Amino acid sequence: MSKKELPVLQAPACCTPMVREPLSEQDAKSLAAVFKALSDPVRLRLLSLIASFEGGEACVCDLTGPFDVSQPTISHHLRVLREAGLIDCERRGTWVYYWVLPDALARLGTLLSTDAIAAPDAP
């Protein structure tokens, strides 16, 4: 079986909240891949776990214990998060270290912001 390189999905450049203007077709496709990566509970927990490590990065050796799945499954989930542009990694000797990409999370936060919605007047 040959190994095929998968393209790294880039988070969209848009940062306008959805409540201000509708998403373009291109932005929606790109964002759907990011949300799909986050839709799995193990991946969502992995992202949270990585972000919560002191110094903002975690060794892959620290990421397998909290889950009731095999190491290859953890590696698969990490690859999905990396391809979605949510985390990055670096090999250091035997181990691979992962960290969350703050810009990707900031773009998602801005996109989902409701600051532009005017609160209805309370009676």
Q: pTM for this one?
A: 0.76
Residue pair 104/86 in contact (Cβ under 8 Å)? The answer is yes
Q: What is the pLDDT of residues 84-123, one digit of tens each?
A: 999 999 999 999 999 999 998 888 888 887 765 555 554 5
Name all domains of the chain by residue range, CATH numbers in brackets. Answer: 25-111 (1.10.10.10)
CA separation, residue 84 to residues 75, 77, 119 (Å): 14, 11, 33
Cα 2 to chain centroid, rounded: 27
Residue pair 82/67 in contact (Cβ under 8 Å)? The answer is no
